[in-house]
Amino acid sequence: MFQQIGKKKPLSQQIVEDITRSIREGKYLPGQQIPTENALCEIFNVSRTAIREAIKILSARGIIEVKKGSGAFVTEVSVQNASEILNMFFELSSDTDLILQTIETRQLLEPQIAREAAEKRNEDHIKLLEKNMRAMQQCPLDKKKKEAELDNEFHRILLTITGNKVLVLLLSPVFNLMPKFKVNVFAKPAAGDLEAEKINMLRHHGDILSAIKEKHPDAAEMAMRKHLKDTWDNYYKSLPKPESGKS
């Protein structure tokens, strides 16, 4: 099932790639135990140290789960654990382009989400959105973390309305990251700018909510596009720019 490995890459990395490929090809199914350390040593013709390092990497990536006293098992696939792996990637990434790329991802997906929300919403959804709007309006200007969480919650409610678990998987890590961006990346503006920023956000959310409430998919989609265009512009202005004269 596995092949003996060569010497071009670190031994542990070659083992990780081989085991991952076997799982991807269905040779080991979710919940199934992979061979023991001793068996893997014989299969790959390597030391126990290399096997243990590979197991640590596979476990850290969420590909296998090590159960004390029982062995290593292929992780059961679920939206929850897949989302946790993506969350880890976003949290650990130091790529400054990640901020704008996450917003660009939202620009591709969220207008369609707003459209579907206008088509699928029920009265309970409207009540949740209206409650969120009231909480946002009442949130003090200096409570930026709370405001960011409420902003995030508005978009999560729209995502929930679609009932699409794949979209939840793809966008939940992005939504988890947005409050962090909003609080940490923005250089804190003057009080007047804070108020203007909040008024603008409430206007966008109000337009989206009105379109969803009236079951107007086209208007909901367009309102979301305008909202995320403003979001992209604001984040872009907040990012540090290269100093003039420097390469």
User: What digits encode the pLDDT tens for the residues 94-129?
Assistant: 556 677 788 888 999 999 999 999 999 999 999 999
The b-or-e profile of 76-98 (16+ CB within 10 A means b, else e) is: eeeeeebbeebeeeeeeeeeeee
Indicate the average pLDDT of the chain: 83
Shortest CA distance to 167 belongs to which of 130, 121, 117?
A: 117
Shortest CA distance to 234 belongs to which of 143, 132, 91, 99?
A: 99
Q: What is the pLDDT of residues 119-164, one digit of tens each?
A: 999 999 999 999 999 999 999 988 888 888 899 899 999 999 999 9
Neighbour tally for 198: CB within 10 Å:
17
Q: Is the pLDDT of residue 89 over 90?
A: no
Residue bearing the bigger pLDDT, 165 or 16: 16
Instruction: Tell me if 202 sits within 8 A of 96, measured CB to CB.
Output: no
What is the arithmetic mean of pLDDT over 212-233? Answer: 95
Tell me how far apart the alpha carbons of residues 109 and 105 are, in angstroms, rounded to a whole number: 6
Tell me how far apart the alpha carbons of residues 167 and 170 are, in angstroms, rounded to a whole number: 5
Length of the chain counted residue by residue: 247
**What confidence tier does 76 reach under pLDDT thresholds 50, 70, 90?**
confident
At 12, which amino acid appears? Answer: S
The confidence score (pLDDT) of residue 178 equals: 74
Residue bearing the bigger pLDDT, 237 or 136: 136
At 106, which amino acid appears? Answer: R
What is the arithmetic mean of pLDDT over 164-168? Answer: 86
Q: Is the pLDDT of residue 244 over 60?
A: no
The confidence score (pLDDT) of residue 8 equals: 64
The confidence score (pLDDT) of residue 95 equals: 56
The confidence score (pLDDT) of residue 247 equals: 42
Which range of 51-55, 145-149, 171-175 scores highest in mean pLDDT? It is: 51-55
Instruction: Tell me if 74 sits within 8 A of 28, measured CB to CB.
Output: yes
User: 157 Cβ partners below 8 Å, 6+ apart?
Assistant: 125, 128, 129, 132
Which range of 66-75, 94-103, 235-244 scores highest in mean pLDDT? It is: 66-75
Q: What is the DSSP string of 134-199?
A: HHHHHS-TT-HHHHHHHHHHHHHHHHHHHT-HHHHHHHHHHHHHHHHHHHHTSPP--HHHHHHHHH
Q: Is the pLDDT of residue 42 over 90?
A: yes
- 64, with CB counted inside 10 A (0-12, 13-18, 19+), is buried
Tell me how far apart the alpha carbons of residues 112 and 85 are, in angstroms, rounded to a whole number: 25
Q: Is the pLDDT of residue 21 over 50?
A: yes
Angle between helices 97-120 and 217-238 (to 10 degrees): 160
Domains of the chain in start order, with CATH, are 11-74 (1.10.10.10), 81-238 (1.20.120.530)
Q: Is the pLDDT of residue 33 over 90?
A: yes
CA distances from 146 to 32, 134, 239 (A): 43, 13, 22
